[in-house]
Amino acid sequence: MTAMDRVARIYQRRRAIRHLRSLSDHCLKDIGIDRSEIVSVVYGTGRDRSRRRVR
């Protein structure tokens, strides 16, 4: 991966975070994401989401 690829990935992730943060809590719930999980979901560093309890 080149330096330009890494920079592009950073901007894509930032854009995704901005977009998800602009959604309502209802929309986030519909796609299975809690507001507190946005960054970890985008970066793929969250806990195993398959174990997450459905509310």
Which tens digit of pLDDT belongs to each residue from 21-54?
A: 999 999 999 999 999 999 999 999 866 555 455 5
Question: What does the alpha-carbon distance between residue 34 and residue 36 come to, in Å, rounded to a whole number?
Answer: 5
- Position 31 scores a pLDDT of 95
* pLDDT score at 18: 98
The structural domain count of the chain equals: 1
pTM for the whole thing?
A: 0.77
Nearest-5° Cα angle at 14, 39 to 23: 65
- Residue 48 has a pLDDT of 56
Separation between Cα atoms, residue 5 and residue 13, nearest integer Å: 12
CB 49 within 8 A of CB 20: no
- In 3D, which of 45, 37, 3 has the Cα closest to residue 17? 37
CA distance 4 to 33: 30
More confident residue, 45 or 19: 19
Print the domain residue range for 18.
3-51
